[in-house]
Amino acid sequence: MIVSKFGGTSVGTFEAMQRSAQIVAADKNRQLIVISATSGTTNDLVALSASNIDSTTREELLGNIEQRHLAIIERCEEEEKLKDSFYTEFSKLREHLDFVGRDKRWKDRLYAFGEMMSTKIFVEVLKQNGIDAEWLDAREIMKMDSTFGNAEPMLKSIKAKAKEHIHKGTTYLTQGFVGSDIFGNTTTLGRGGSDFSAALFAEAVGADTLEIWTDVAGVYTTDPRIVPEAFPIHEISFDEAAELSVFGGKVLHPATLKPAIRGGVNVRVASSSDPENPGTFIVKESEEKPAIRAISLRKDQTLLTVNSLQMLHQHGFLAQLFRVLAEHKISVDLVSTSEVSVALTLDTAVNAANKVELTDDVLDELREFAEVSVEENLALIALIGNDMQKTSGLGGPLFSALEQYNIRLICHGASSNNLCFLVDHKEAEGIVKMLHHKFIGKGS
């Protein structure tokens, strides 16, 4: 069984939906189809949920949503039926807006409209292409906790519900991103969460393969906008891909690989406008294991340095430091320590989602036992590869390549798949270009 996920751009226009439907039709094993909202729709819904929105903007956003969907519907054979079903959702959406400010719960219900509408349309497009898919409400299966906006999936319940609702031999179409809590309230997995949903579905049904159909030809060696020579990686291990998705490769939602790893599900990332191109396979063990396979760049890094003589030959200092950060829900990314100081970067992926910052409160609390400094305008470069902690000969060429740059912090040794360092953000892209050229090249 293959679980196929199509992202927003792969269902964003009638032509895109047609192409995606033909991909589904090309392999009978594609039996569980998970899709995102049409591209742009979740952004519009998030904008609609803003508390200070004026009525002009509100009508404009609603108009965008309506136009985008109608443009697709007007090309469908079942135009009238789809219009009815779209306007049923759309009028619920309008009514809904009056409640959004009241309670966090209403926001997730609002965001879910995007996926509800896209699946209502896509099920008809599938039918036009000879696939009789059963429309499945993801909220029946994707059980989550009640952390609205960023809910945690409940794996046992998801598995049990999947067993109850999903049967071999039938093709299903369902929504990514959305689920429900034990009270039946709609929940969401956080922005970009459809990949994660699809992986959870794949794990729950014991799929062999999870396909992520997107608008790029796979996972690239680095961002091709920075390095035109970058190319799609043919095969990469779960461990490497996990590092890459966490450290800035934007193709996959960082949580996607966990369920795939647990479930032993191979992942394929490919472009829905170029389906003949194999794209990238993410597998348990990759055949080739280059020391440096990919390079990622993450901007806007904050470095916090905490310095205290108390730390000298003491125990408990790190615990004290991390307790303060934990209490303020600050997620830490990299850590480097010396005898009397600790330098760390904040996990911007997590912190950005939760809008947690190094507030004066946090800093004051730290100042009670240490000197604290904060540096901004840094960028994190991560080299992703294999056996990095034992590759003799990597350090020499790497450090000489970096000779003329100021490296603010290095983390190496914790993972055999990752070596990363902080540099001035103005120099970052140049360094990525240089390293890619030197260590990865053009591919074959």
Q: Tell whether residue 36 is a contact of ligand ASP (CB under 6 A).
A: yes
Q: Which is nearer to ligand ASP, 218 or 385 (CB)?
A: 218
What type of residue is 342?
V
Q: Tell whether residue 254 is a contact of ligand ASP (CB under 6 A).
A: no
CA dihedral 100, 254, 440, 269 (to 10 degrees): -80
Select the binding partner of residue 232 from ligand ASP, Mg ion, none (C-beta < 5 to 8 A, by kind).
none
Applying the rule CB under 6 A, the residues between 39 and 98 that interact with ligand ASP are 42
Query: Exactly one of 192, 232, 259, 263 binds Mg ion (CB under 5 A); which one?
Result: 192
Q: Which stretch binds ligand ASP (CB under 6 A): 36-44, 163-171, 211-219, 324-332?
A: 36-44
Rounded to whole angstroms, the Cα distance separating 359 from 365 reads 10
Q: Tell whether residue 7 is a contact of Mg ion (CB under 5 A).
A: yes
Q: Tell whether residue 12 is a contact of ligand ASP (CB under 6 A).
A: no
Q: Tell whether residue 179 is a contact of ligand ASP (CB under 6 A).
A: no
Give the containing element (helix H, strand E) for 349. Answer: helix 348-354
Take residue 387 and report the two structure tokens written for it.
Answer: 């056996």
Query: Exactly one of 75, 83, 191, 328 binds ligand ASP (CB under 6 A); which one?
Result: 191
Select the binding partner of residue 42 from Mg ion, ligand ASP, none (C-beta < 5 to 8 A, by kind).
ligand ASP
Rounded to whole angstroms, the Cα distance separating 24 from 170 reads 13
Q: Which is nearer to ligand ASP, 36 or 119 (CB)?
A: 36
Q: Which stretch binds ligand ASP (CB under 6 A): 35-43, 95-103, 201-209, 320-328?
A: 35-43
CB of residue 127 to ligand ASP, shortest distance in Å = 23
Antiparallel, parallel or unpaired: β 371-384 and 294-307: antiparallel
Take residue 22 and report the two structure tokens written for it.
Answer: 């033909």
Q: Which stretch binds ligand ASP (CB under 6 A): 192-200, 209-217, 285-293, 432-440?
A: 192-200
CB of residue 212 to Mg ion, shortest distance in Å = 9
Q: Which is nearer to Mg ion, 192 or 248 (CB)?
A: 192
The DSSP call for residue 11 is G
Query: Exactly one of 17, 24, 34, 37 binds ligand ASP (CB under 6 A); which one?
Result: 37
Q: Which is nearer to ligand ASP, 40 or 290 (CB)?
A: 40
Applying the rule CB under 6 A, the residues between 112 and 151 that interact with ligand ASP are 114
Q: Which residues bind ligand ASP (CB under 6 A)?
A: 7-8, 36-37, 42, 114, 176-177, 191-194
